[in-house]
Amino acid sequence: MSFREHLQDVCTNVDGAVACSVMGIDGIEIDTLVSEAGDLDLKSLLVEYSNVFRNARDAADVHQAGGISEVSINTDKLVTVARLVSPDYFMVVALKPEGNYGKARYLLRITAPKVRSEL
């Protein structure tokens, strides 16, 4: 499967998903699928969130809290779950607040190794 097919798979199978992306920790997008943008500039937001992911990784690293696996940022408009795919890349799904957060976490967990094998 291509990146795009993995992204499509996650977006299709998570109720409320509006976007899914594979990104570099440095904020450079590999591929992003936006299924329902609404009034948000999701791509720019996800780039901004990559800084947050990197900060969280560095904070955990400094304090020997172990390797980062997942970061979620939830606002009253959007829930995002990001999961590390490799040391340099992560995968993120954005969904509506009423979407299926547990399914998003589950699908990221099982999809990340498949994406990693294609990097």
Footprint of a copy of itself (CB under 8 A): 39-41, 44-45, 48-49, 51-52, 55-56, 59-60, 62-78, 102
CB 39, min distance to a copy of itself, A? 7
Nearer to a copy of itself, 79 or 115 (CB): 79
CB 18, min distance to a copy of itself, A? 11
Distance in angstroms (rounded) separating the CA atoms of residues 93 and 82: 6
Closest CA to 85 of 116, 42, 107: 116
CB 3, min distance to a copy of itself, A? 23
Nearer to a copy of itself, 12 or 55 (CB): 55
Nearer to a copy of itself, 30 or 60 (CB): 60
Residue 56 DSSP code = H
Q: Over the range 107-117, which residues count as b (16 or more CB within 10 Å of their CB) and which as e?
A: bbeebbeebee
Distance in angstroms (rounded) separating the CA atoms of residues 90 and 9: 16
